Amino acid sequence: MKPFKTLCVVLLAAMLVLTTAACGSKGKTNDNLQTGGSASQKQDKKTIVCSADYPEYTSVDDLSAHAEYVVYGTVLSERYESMSLRIPESGAESAEAGQDNEQTVVTVYEVRVQESYSGAASSGDVLKVMLLGGETEDTVYQYEDSPEIEVGSEYVFFLSGSQIVENGAWLLNNTQALYAANGETVSKTAEQGFALSFDWLEAIKAQ
């Protein structure tokens, strides 16, 4: 399930030209995507600034109650993919399901689970944590409040599952569902986050 609705605007050259646009590019395939780029290369690209309408949560208990997965893990890799976010109707033939060419650029982080506190994931599993936004050869899709996730770093994730990608999951939102961790302490990555500890995580695991 996708926990968001999106709206995008386009930034052209040095002037801000705001126009509504679809947050994606028709006909793009994964072969056209990059996994990085120099600062100068990024400056040469068109930037589309997007916003997403995510649910907000009143407490960490509320956040946890809506999460399909609560896991502590290490980020192994980062890449950009272009994919359809359309979920095929039950019983639809695979050929029909593949006819939707509206592509959305997504950043995919492979995360190795160190500890699972809620949900079906187990220690050692690799989840594909997805965030809206990323890059193609000529365009940067930049989402407001998108968290900075570093490869090699450890985080606690509050996630919803995905019917689009095997072992895929989405952050419940960009400001309350990601916490930096080091095995001893947990700290929020955005002002809107909640106070969190490993003791609290162990308590929900025992429920």
pTM (two decimals): 0.76
69 within a domain of the structure (yes/no): yes
CA distances from 77 to 35, 105, 196 (A): 10, 17, 25
Assigned token pair, 191 = 């002002």
What is the DSSP secondary structure assignment for residue 32, as one 8-state letter?
A: G
Q: Which amino acid is at 186?
A: V
Q: Is residue 1 part of a domain?
A: no
- Is residue 189 domain-resident? yes
The answer on pLDDT for 116 being more than 90 is: yes
Identify whether 80 is part of a domain.
Answer: yes
Mean pLDDT (the chain) is 81
- The residues facing 46 across adjacent strands are 139
pLDDT digits (tens, 9 = 90+) for 4-55: 555 554 443 322 333 333 344 333 334 334 455 555 455 688 999 988 888 9
Host H or E run for residue 199 = helix 198-205
Per the structure, the count of domains in the chain is 1
Residue 47 lies in a domain: yes
Taking every pair of C-alpha atoms in the chain, what is the biggest distance, in angstroms?
54
Range of the domain at 53: 6-205
Counting every residue written for the chain, the total comes to 207
Q: What tokens appear for 169 in the block?
A: 């999951």
For the record, the structure tokens of 43 come out as 């400056």
- Please state, in angstroms and rounded to a whole number, the distance separating the CA atoms of residues 106 and 134: 6
Using the 8-state DSSP alphabet, how is residue 119 labeled?
S
